[in-house]
Structure 1
Amino acid sequence: MREFLESQEIDSKLIEEIYKFREYYKLDQELENRIANPKYNYYGKDVLNKSIAAILAGKHILLTGPKASGKNVLAENLSKMFSRPLWNISMNINTDSASLIGGDTFRNNEVVFSKGPIFRAAESGGFAIFDEINMAKNESLSVVYSALDHRREIDVPGYDKIHLHEATRFIGTMNYGYIGTKELNEALVSRFMVIDMPTISRENLEQILINQYSLTQEYRNLFIQLFMDLQKKSLNAEISSKAVDLRGMFSSIDLMNMGLNLKDALELGIINKTFDTFEKEIVSDVIDTLFEDKVEYNQIFK
């Protein structure tokens, strides 16, 4: 971890403080399996410096930005960096206080309190991700307002107060413009340090591909160009963001590695992510411009 942080030119004082944090806040062995083990590293000096500084200062962070900017990857990387257990909560219109904090349940012929992810993160010093926080109703999140501000506590009706462990941090993620999203109210946003995530750069995407796949330089450059072209068309409103899917492109490369034809793999991972016929034609044209119809395995992989 230190080697990676140094390679990203993270401030040396921040790196030392991370290791002091890890040493001071010991973790119960039974929770070690909850520490994230991200498949991808997050590359981006400025965002990493800001996120690490905010966590060390005891702040909660809200990661905003377009699709494929690495919000969840960053959150998982922070869990690993700080060696903290992670709870990921997918927010939606049906999210309520019980799904966040917990509620009564019937077990062994008696009513007991079943702890929710916020309760567990609060008592163990874990990190909790509010994934797509702007898809939940604002009133459902009001129950954690006192946990997010200086009080760092939650009053559970019918039970005692939860006092947040000193190491507990909340991380919100949100995209703009998705169906079902809404504006976050001022009271909620004011409790976070807001980090605006940039779209992934060509250099950072190349680094991920180098680390994850044994691609030839020619095809690594072509995959990068494919993503950049689709991203540009999306930003120019020529297509939606549905085909601008890093996960989809990585999955397509995985299928190619298993022996599937390149065009078929990109159809499954990228083209078919949109259901609009006209948009599919635009995405297909971009792919056809970059890639030949027949490509051998050894042309793609070393």
Structure 2
Amino acid sequence: MLDMLEFLKNEGVDAGLIEQVAAFRAQFPPEESLRRRVPDPRYLYYGKDIWEEAITALLCGENLLLVGPKATGKNVLAENLAAAFGRPSWDVSLYINTDAATLLGTDTFEAGQVKLRKGPIYQCAEKGGFGVLDEINMAKNESLAVLHATLDFRRSIDMPGYDRIPLHDATRFIATMNYGYAGTRELNEALTSRFVVIDMPTISEDGLQKLLTREFPRLKSDYALQFAGLFRDIQKKCDGGELSTKPLDLRGLMASVHLMAAGLTAGRALELGLVNKSFDDFERQLVQDVIRTRLPDDLSAKDVFN
């Protein structure tokens, strides 16, 4: 498993914060049965300032709300934080039909008895986990109201018909949200006030080069620079209103490099990973033009990889 504390040191995160994270891990070791829930991140978040803000907030017992557009690494950071603190994590995908029973638990009939089937929020609260509330603004506000006592100073869950459950001291919640997606809505003020909010910046070219180099060790440095520059070019076009955000897809870029490593030419790989994310012919042509200013269509794996 990756040594996250060593990674934080290499990122230049404040040494005092790293010591406090190490002390937190020593104070709250995960149960043996939950070690499989402690993330082992495939991707790493690069950004010293955001790391320091997030770590400080969690050490202070706060819950985090990560806000930002596509490709800012919200879920990557959430997973990385759980790994850095050595805590088991529960990922909760929120959507319009999410209700209190989905989050907290519901009665079930087992061995002739009515028992509580614990939901992810209940388990997270009980076991001292990090709960990742993905796209929190997709769920109905009334369903999220059950979390108010969980997220504020009361730090407890009242289950009707069952005991009042106090939160484990290590429990934290990290929510993510993206404005503008279909089905999203405004969070009400009562819920928002229970988080400290980090406005996630777009990934820097340097950070993207590090990400590409770590994921593809054989990728030549010149082409890591070109792929990072390509992503930045598309981002500038989106910021200027020339393109929608559909082709601004970091996952798509990583998938394209994977496809190139498997044998596709650059033109075909980037068409699958980026160009075809847009369904407008004119926009697809614009994205292809941006790509061709950086990379020739017939570029092959032997050109790009050592």
Q: Which TM-score tier does this pair reach, normalised by the shorter chain?
A: over 0.9
1:11: which partner in 2?
14
Deviations for 1:179-226, whole angstroms, at most 9, x for unmatched residues?
Answer: 111111110111001011101111111111121212112221221111
Report 1:67-106 matches (<5 A). Answer: 67-106=70-109
User: Residues 26, 293 of structure 1: CA spacing in aligned structure 2 closer, same or farther, 3 A cutoff?
Assistant: closer
Partners of 1:9 and 1:87 in 2: how far apart?
28
Distance in 1 (alpha carbons) for counterparts of 2:163 and 2:222:
61
Distance (whole Å) between structure 1 residues aligned to residue 114 and residue 271 of structure 2: 51
Number of the residue aligned with 2:44: 41
Residue 237 of structure 1 corresponds to 241
- State which of 205, 208, 212 in structure 2 corresponds to 1:209: 212
Corresponding position of 1:189:
192
Question: What are the within-5 Å matches in structure 2 for residues 53-132 of structure 1?
Answer: 53-132=56-135
Distance 2:66 2:272 in 1: 29
SS of the residue corresponding to residue 114 of structure 2 reads: strand
Q: In structure 1, what residue type is equivalent to 2:142? A: E
Runs of 4 or more, structure 1, over 4 Å off, are none
After superposition, the C-alpha distances for 1:69-114 in whole angstroms (9 at most, x for unaligned) are: 1100000100110000011111111111011101012333443211
Q: CA deviation at 1:250?
A: 0.5
Contact in 1 for aligned 2:94/2:133 (Cα 8 Å): yes
Provide the rounded CA distance (Å) in 2 between the counterparts of 1:191 and 1:274: 37
Map of 1:179 onto structure 2: 182
SS at match of 1:59: coil
Counterpart of 2:31 in structure 1 is 28
Which residue type is aligned with residue 183 of structure 1? E
Over the matched positions of the two proteins, sequence identity in percent amounts to 53
Aligned counterparts of 2:116 and 2:280: Cα–Cα separation in 1 = 47
TM-score by length of 2: 0.96
Gaps of 5+ in 2: none
TM-score by length of 1: 0.97
Q: Does 1:268 align with 2:269?
A: no
Deviation string 1:260-300 (CA, Å, 9 cap, x unpaired) is 22211111111111222222121112112222121232211
RMSD: 1.1
Write the distance in 1 (CA, Å) between the matches of 2:297 and 2:150.
Answer: 56
One-letter amino acid of the counterpart of residue 260, structure 1: L
**Residue 287 of structure 1: aligned partner:** 291
Decide whether the 8 Å contact of 1:219 with 1:299 is kept in 2. no
Which range is displaced more, 28-37 or 5-14? 5-14
Partner residue, 2:263: 259
